Structure 1
Amino acid sequence: MRIATWNVNSARARVDRIGAWLDRSDVDVLAIQETKARDDQFPASVFTDRGYEVAHHGLSQWNGVAIASRVGLEDVRVGFPGQPGYGDPEESEARAVGATCGGVQVWSLYVPNGREVDHPHYAYKLRWLKALREAGAARLAQAPDAQIAYVGDFNIAPQDDDVWDMAAFEGSTHVTAPERAAFEELVGAGFREVVREHTPGPGVYTYWDYKGLAFPKRRGMRIDFVLASPALASRVSGASIDREERKGKGASDHAPVIVGLDGNDGASVAKVKEAGA
């Protein structure tokens, strides 16, 4: 089985590219983030026409998450236990949807950006990550053999070589100690990040800004991840980042990340073979 995650930066704007990528990547499960659509606006047919079942959670033109699966889509859940909202009073945001696909509980996650270190959104981001860790730890305590995948755009670069130049990010979100600690606490709760060992850096990224020719200049960030529970991590046999999908007209600013399970190497049409490839 092959599981992928992809921040598409608007499902409606990217619908043709999504369909073409599904055709050539042949993944079994695709978790997507930043659909930027209400449920009634989401282009579900790009999935259903190809034999995928799909669950989408979208409340407005912002955020939005979905899971498409051709190996079953059961026990769909909107939001994880304890997931906080944003604002005063708090309002729910479409940042998490889960479903069981081929025996694996897949969560498509769009972690809050944080905006600026002194912004209320930054504190919200840390609360959100703490709640996710608590929910994950509770689930593993209840069912240690559960196969769980937390996948998506985490909006955190956990290591210095996950950004093209640390000096350029001085004082910015995504690289601060509290954010990195929150990511490590997820790992400490029992979830292993399973992509990096198959796509080692430095210079291997999943996101490149649209501005300043960031992509051709290789000025990117690694912020999209697959965190697997112990029972699932033991099944991972390969992973890749489809950097080719960031090229060309109408591309998302993120590349798909693919993980293969049980003998499938997770290779995409453009598997990263070396740092900076």
Structure 2
Amino acid sequence: MKNRTVLLTGASEGIGYELAKLFATNGYKLVLVARNHQKLQEVQQELGYLTDVMIIEKDLSLIDAAQQLYNEIQSSNIQIDVLVNNAGTGLQDHFHHLSAQEQLRMIQLNITTLTQLTHLFVQDMLNNGYGRIMNIGSISSFIATPSMAVYGATKAYVLSFSEALNTELRNKGDYAVTAICPGPTKTNFAKNGDMKQLGELVNLVGVRPEKVAKVAFKSLEKKKTYAIPGKRYGLLLLAAKFIPRRVLQFSIAAITLNNKHSETTLK
């Protein structure tokens, strides 16, 4: 949509990169944020002929990064119409094996930064009379995930927060908040560490990031509350409702608990 600007975090690869392409081809101006400056420059060069592309290198897992990002955008006099909170990180191992610092950093990025960015930009959206927010959750938003306990909990927060905020904003005008909850996706999320079993699962049943991005983009346009890319995952979650939670947890544990500690980041 012409003259609309989207702020997209985690934009240098994976789902974020695919979303950047979709927004660009649909006429949106882009403000792309990630830690990897080189990759951001490559995306800027690729999409710059389609639309205006501003890139910002920033580690959003750091305290006050959200406020710093907001201040930088404000100083450039850019109005953000669409906020896409895509940046996130995952840790895999038994909870007690992982360091508290690593897990708190994950909470900072997956929950705190997402919440801060939303709170900052939603004020402006309300003043401007238009706003769209997309938050990237996971199928772990619906099901607790042994060996990724804190990660799953952060994604449960994303879904709950998004649904509640969407309800609050719907009565205020042209606003919508959409949570996108993909299952295993063929990105570097599973490849960037020693996640052998999870990686094998992704190779077998994983959805391609461009498909996730298409579902996400269309769902935001339709102002859906949430969407689960991939019919198989929607059916899986439907079936999970009829399985005792204890049985379900043991089934998930059988798939995930044999993996060694690893960390992956959506950039």
Normalised-by-shorter TM-score class: 0.3 to 0.5
TM-score (norm 1): 0.45
User: More relative contact order in 1 or in 2 (CA 8 Å, sep 6+)?
Assistant: 2
Structure 1 or 2: more strand by fraction = 1
Structure 1 or 2: more helix by fraction = 2
